[in-house]
Amino acid sequence: MPAVDKLLLEEALQDSPQTRSLLSVFEEDAGTLTDYTNQLLQAMQRVYGAQNEMCLATQQLSKQLLAYEKQLNVLHTELAKQLADTMVLPIIQFREKDLTEVSTLKDLFGLASNEHDLSMAKYSRLPKKKENEKVKTEVGKEVAAARRKQHLSSLQYYCALNALQYRKRMAMMEPMIGFAHGQINFFKKGAEMFSKHMDSFLSSVADMVQSIQVELEAEAEKMRVSQQEFLSVDESVYTPDSDVAAPQINRNLIQKAGYLNLRNKTGLVTTTWERLYFFTQGGNLMCQPRGAVAGGLIQDLDNCSVMAVDCEDRRYCFQITTPNGKSGIILQAESRKENEEWICAINNISRQIYLTDNPEAVAIKLNQTALQAVTPITSFGKKQESSCPSQNLKNSEMENENDKIVPKATASLPKAEELIAPGTPIQFDIVLPATEFLDQNRGSRRTNPFGETEDESFPEAEDSLLQQMFIVRFLGSMAVKTDSTTEVIYEAMRQVLAARAIHNIFRMTESHLMVTSQSLRLIDPQTQVSRANFELTSVTQFAAHQDNKRLVGFVIRIPESTGEESLSTYIFESNSEGEKICYAINLGKEIIEVQKDPEALAQLMLSIPLTNDGKYVLLNDQPDDNDGNPSEHRGAESEA
């Protein structure tokens, strides 16, 4: 006998769209079965009515055939009685008992689901104010009661539907067997018309019905035990946000699924929240409403950013932002644990970890590295020893000699505590946003609507021999202890990225980095207002990351009011390779040096192509091999 498909009881609590979709198949089958049973019952009642009519007809006939009166009347009367007991009665009992029970449980399950949705909507609207703790507790208990009630009704409903898959087979076979036995008994005197093959067939059918009954009893007992096990779980399973103080958060997820509230704008100032089932698939965030066969794409998560936000006085909200900086969607989780796990999972997916051979191991390694970076320790020697051999060599400083970049000889690697003091704070925003900068420093002065930089603010731009523009995103800055080696930049990169991952800081400010022969300027791309300005002579170290070529950093020596000097490292992520930015900075510093000697400046200008007006230097895309002549790799990447 083929296996019977059934609903899994362990999926009743999650109530996912996939389970609902499978449930709809069972419900449609139950509806079709009900219609078919009614039609079959009508046909059987017609047969039974015809047999009763046959009894009356034979009774009248027997009065004319006195010799056969008793035999004919008794034979047809027994056949009518047997058809009523073995053919009509079982199908009536199946319709009135089993199908009615499934219909009743379906209504109860629908009421419980609606009650749970209403309680979850009420719970999601709870504010974060402390004076509402009593209300929050009551609503939480209401959600737990509604969720338990829905779980109980769904288990009963699923068990009934699973049992129906067995009962419907018996319900269809028993009337046919009863009809066949009645006809056989009726024609017993003509037994020669029935072969032994028919007897064995009916016997095998009866055995099959009995085996189905045994399977039903075993399955019913198994489902009863499973139901008791599922209902004996801890009450925290039904209570949302049960462990607020210290939830067990898995930060190594590369896929996630569950219900979230999606914020939809219905007008200029009005919004609605819709509770939907979300899941990740590869690098995509998918959404699947209840009853839908498959999910639809909501957001491409590759290279996106995610961060927790405050939205309409709701708790546990987070926002997904597209790589171009446009605001994406805002979602709300039902607990702190779910909120942080969704943020970590989306952050892991945005790094495209799922494309690696062993994504789980990569995610665990990244999070362990992040934990080590923000955990205060007394010695960094073990981390230096565990790093790969290629990272145990210094990134060579580059100096231009005879139009070739030659690496300087360096000593052994310094320890991490000699580069950056343990516990040094990290700044994740370089300055105030451009709009606040205007409000605080320019008052009511009108902003240039064409987004042009004011000439009087930076007169050196007109006299600069080098102007090169790069699109960068500020990651962080921190104080350092030395600028004698580029290893301080690599250590700062590691600590900044690790701190961002641990504290779920994924928002970055995009700026235009203008490299001139006098300074480095960070410009707001929308208002063209300068965010920060660094003299090129104060840049003492600069380097790109050895593995991630898009990361670049530089060390700035800043004089203090006390007469001393402080050192700070600034870390950025660029759209192009960081080596191009390093090449532009190195070229600017070379121009500063040769400006003191007119002859050296003339030779440098002859070796570097200029624009038609003889002012701006054009830079080529720099290859990964830095041993070539830089003058052979210059061209226009982006022109100021």
Q: Which residues touch 58 (CB under 8 Å, ≥6 apart)? A: 72, 73, 75, 76
pLDDT (average), residues 87-114: 90
pLDDT (average), residues 386-400: 37
Q: Output the pLDDT for position 194.
A: 52
Can you point out the beta strands (E) in 423-485?
A: 467-479
What b-and-e string marks burial along 204-240, b requiring 16 or more CB atoms within 10 Å of the CB? eeeeeeeebeeebeebeeebeebbeebeeeeeeebbb
Q: Output the pLDDT for position 528.
A: 81
| Helix or strand (DSSP H, E) at 320 | strand 314-321
The first and second tokens of residue 28, run together, are 């449609």
Q: What is the pTM of this model?
A: 0.48
The first and second tokens of residue 184, run together, are 């056989």
Determine the CATH number of domain 257-369: 2.30.29.30
What tens digit of pLDDT does each residue of 156-174 get? 998 998 888 888 888 888 8
Does residue 102 or residue 240 have the better pLDDT? 102
Q: Where do the structural domains in the chain lie, given as residue ranges?
A: 9-194, 257-369, 467-607
Q: Output the pLDDT for position 324.
A: 77
What tens digit of pLDDT does each residue of 311-350 get? 877 888 998 888 776 767 899 999 888 998 999 899 888 8
| Closest of 300, 299, 365, 350 to residue 507, by C-alpha | 350
- For 410, other C-beta atoms within 10 Å of its C-beta total 15
Q: Output the pLDDT for position 601.
A: 66
Question: Is the predicted pLDDT of residue 639 greater than 70, yes or no?
Answer: no
Kindly list the distances between the CA atom of residue 353 and the CA atoms of 186, 303, 324, 360, in Å, as whole numbers in the listed order.
75, 11, 20, 8
Which phi and psi angles does 218 have, rounded to 5°? -65, -45
Architecture of the domain defined by 9-194:
Up-down Bundle (1.20)
Q: Are 252 and 348 in contact (CB under 8 A)?
A: yes
Q: Output the pLDDT for position 192.
A: 54
553-556 own/partner pairs: CB under 8 Å, 24+ apart: 553/489, 553/492, 553/493, 554/489, 554/520, 554/585, 555/480, 555/483, 555/488, 555/489
Question: In angstroms, rounded to a whole number, what is the distance separating the alpha carbons of residues 108 and 603?
Answer: 89
Kindly list the distances between the CA atom of residue 320 and the CA atoms of 83, 158, 235, 286, 510, in Å, as whole numbers in the listed order.
68, 37, 33, 13, 16
What tens digit of pLDDT does each residue of 496-548 get? 888 887 776 777 778 888 888 888 988 888 788 888 888 988 999 999 988 88
Instruction: Give the β-pairing of 467-479 and 509-516.
Output: antiparallel
Which segment of 44-58, 248-262, 278-292, 611-625 scores lowest on mean pLDDT?
A: 611-625
Determine the CATH number of domain 467-607: 2.30.29.30
Q: Are 320 and 299 in contact (CB under 8 A)?
A: yes
| Closest of 311, 309, 320 to residue 347, by C-alpha | 320
Question: Is the predicted pLDDT of residue 374 greater than 70, yes or no?
Answer: no
Do domains 257-369 and 467-607 share one topology? The answer is yes
Mean pLDDT is highest, among 95-104, 418-427, 584-593, for 95-104
Q: Output the pLDDT for position 185.
A: 82
Q: Specify the DSSP class assigned to residue 86.
A: I
Question: Is the predicted pLDDT of residue 64 greater than 90, yes or no?
Answer: no
| Closest of 9, 334, 414 to residue 140, by C-alpha | 334
Which phi and psi angles does 458 have, rounded to 5°? -135, 75
Question: Is the predicted pLDDT of residue 450 greater than 80, yes or no?
Answer: no
Kindly list the distances between the CA atom of residue 539 and the CA atoms of 86, 151, 401, 478, 536, in Å, as whole numbers in the listed order.
98, 64, 20, 15, 5
Q: Specify the DSSP class assigned to residue 169.
A: H
Question: In angstroms, rounded to a whole number, what is the distance separating the alpha carbons of residues 421 and 435?
Answer: 34
Which segment of 75-79, 198-202, 446-450 scores lowest on mean pLDDT?
A: 446-450
